[in-house]
Structures are given as C-alpha cells and as structure tokens.
C-alpha cells in the first residue's frame, strides 16, 4: 500500500445515509472515512453494516439525537481518543493514530446559529469559544506537535476564503463567513502551521464548495454554496498529499446530506 485515501463527510444522520455511504465506498474506495453528525447513540450505530463495507475498525464518539463523530478504517488503529472543548462533552472531536503514526483528528465545529452576535446568540458564542479553546491547546503543545504527522479534518462550519463562498460581500454578515469566525479559524490554522490540502490542489481563486442548503432547490443552477468542510495537514505531511478533491455529485443523489465528502490521497 503506497498511499491511503481519506474522506471526510458530514453525513447528517448515519442511519439515513447508509446507502449513500455504500455508494461513496463503491465510487471512491476510501481507506479511512471521518464522519460528522452521525446522530446515533452507541447502541444505535450501524456497526455491522459499516463493517460489511470493509471498515473493520471504528472509533466512535456519540450521543443521543445530534452531533457525534466517527472514524472508519480498513486498517487497525494504533490508538484512539475523544477530546472535549469548552468543558462540554458534546461528541465533536475524535482522534486516531494509524499507518506510520499519522494522527487523524475528526472535528465537528459548532454551526453557531443564525445571528452572528455572541452576546445575543449563545450558540455563536460557543462556536467562537470552541475554536479559541482548540487553538490555545495546539499553541500550548506546539513544541511537541509541530513536527508530527497530523491531519485535522471535518465540518469546520467556516468558509474562510472569499472564494469559499458564492458571494463574498453578501456573506460577510452570514454565520460561517463573518470576519470574527474567519479570524478564529485562521488562528487555528496558524496554531501548527497547518496546510490546506484542498487548496494545495485546487488553489484560490477557484470557487470550491462542499455544502449547499436544503432550502435552495436550484442549488445546481445557482451554485450558492460554501466550503465548510476541510482537510488540513501538518507541514510534515504536506509533500505527501498526492491529491484532493470534492465529491460534488453526492449532493444530487437521493436523500443527500447537505454536505458532500471531501477527499485527499496521502502517500505512505
């Protein structure tokens, strides 16, 4: 095995999206899949169905009804752990080490609600604090982590670049593209000098999206999307990113998630 293919996908309920997960496996043949918003308790998670797709190794951090993250792998994990931020046990971050000691962090950053004001909207305040807490932790451990082979991926719920949204000016006051969110995500990005795997292969100013609203029935025509889903790698891995792309066709399938998978190939 000279490389592995990693997919990250906000599945928006794993039980609803099982057939699409099977389709993703058939079309893209990923070796590792990071899922967000699995929305299933441990006892409700479809372990048997996922193992039947070839993923014998599953690391799950779940809770009833919402959130939940999982890492599915064809290769055994060397270790796995759950992380919490802002003192909340809300199933938003799971990490696993595999292959030649590559640590994969699967993160679901809070969406933040509709009002971009942390004083009147506690969900938005939580989102900002979540990113601050995570950034501070990486900054504090930078001397230990900066030379490690690490990946952080998932639904970050922030579109940081002007070309990550359909209309930069119209989106500046919309949660996911406000300056304060971009500032927080930029701090996280700089915490370990992360490298954006997708933009390494699909550089700006090309517009690239991974999310299209359910409220937009003409999403293919008007393409009012946002790039909310990301794969970043530490500098130790940047030269090993052989390719990265977005599986946009998954959005047009029956009963889709509003997010589509983002995929990167990493050389071993």
pLDDT digits (tens, 9 = 90+) for 213-249: 999 888 989 999 999 999 999 999 999 999 999 999 9
Mean pLDDT for the stretch of residues 41-54: 97
Could you check whether the bond before residue 48 is cis, i.e. omega within 30 degrees of 0? no
Sequence-distant (6+) residues with CB within 8 A of 23 are: 250, 253
- pLDDT-derived band at 173 (thresholds 50, 70, 90) equals very high
Cα 184 to chain centroid, rounded = 16
The reported pLDDT for the residue numbered 146 is 87
Sequence-distant (6+) residues with CB within 8 A of 223 are: 166, 207, 209, 212
- pLDDT-derived band at 186 (thresholds 50, 70, 90) equals very high
Mean pLDDT for the stretch of residues 53-58: 98
Q: Does residue 30 register a pLDDT over 80?
A: yes
Decide: 20 and 45 in contact? Cβ < 8 Å.
no
Domains of the chain: which residue ranges?
A: 3-267
Decide: 67 and 109 in contact? Cβ < 8 Å.
no
Q: Is domain 3-267 classified as CATH 3.40.50.10540?
A: no
The reported pLDDT for the residue numbered 64 is 86
Mean pLDDT for the stretch of residues 142-165: 97
pLDDT digits (tens, 9 = 90+) for 59-70: 999 998 899 999
Q: What is the mean pLDDT of the chain?
A: 97
Mean pLDDT for the stretch of residues 142-169: 97
pLDDT digits (tens, 9 = 90+) for 74-124: 999 999 999 999 999 999 999 999 999 999 999 999 999 999 999 999 999
CB atoms within 10 A of CB 43: 8
The reported pLDDT for the residue numbered 175 is 98
Helix axes 179-191, 122-140, angle to 10 degrees: 20
Mean pLDDT for the stretch of residues 117-137: 98
Decide: 106 and 143 in contact? Cβ < 8 Å.
no
The reported pLDDT for the residue numbered 65 is 83
Structural tokens at position 63:
């809770």
Q: Does residue 1 register a pLDDT over 80?
A: no
Q: Which residues pair with 36 in a beta bridge?
A: 10, 69
């Amino acid at each position: 095995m000279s490389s592995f293919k990693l997919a990250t996908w906000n599945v928006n309920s794993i039980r609803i999206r099982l057939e699409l997960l099977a389709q993703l496996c058939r079309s893209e043949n990923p070796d590792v899949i990071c899922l967000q918003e699995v929305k299933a308790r441990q006892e409700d998670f479809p372990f048997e169905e996922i193992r039947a797709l070839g993923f014998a190794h599953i690391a799950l951090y779940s809770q009833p009804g919402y959130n939940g993250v999982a890492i599915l792998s064809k290769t055994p994990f060397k270790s796995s752990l759950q992380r919490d931020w802002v003192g909340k046990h809300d199933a938003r971050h799971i990490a696993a080490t595999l292959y030649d000691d590559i640590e994969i962090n699967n993160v679901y950053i809070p969406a933040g609600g509709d009002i971009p004001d942390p004083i009147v909207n506690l969900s938005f305040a939580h989102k900002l604090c979540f990113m601050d807490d995570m950034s501070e932790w990486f900054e504090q451990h930078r001397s230990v982590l900066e030379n490690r082979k690490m990946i952080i991926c998932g639904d970050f719920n922030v579109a940081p670049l002007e070309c990550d949204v359909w209309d930069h000016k119209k989106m500046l006051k919309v949660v996911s593209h406000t300056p304060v969110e971009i500032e927080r995500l930029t701090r996280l990005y700089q915490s370990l000098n992360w490298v954006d795997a997708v933009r390494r292969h699909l550089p700006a100013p090309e517009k690239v999206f991974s999310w299209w609203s359910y409220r937009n029935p003409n999403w293919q025509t008007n393409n009012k999307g946002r790039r909310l889903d990301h794969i970043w790698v530490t500098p130790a891995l940047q030269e090993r990113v052989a390719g990265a792309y977005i599986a946009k066709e998954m959005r047009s399938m029956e009963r889709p998630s509003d997010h589509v998978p983002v995929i990167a190939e990493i050389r071993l």
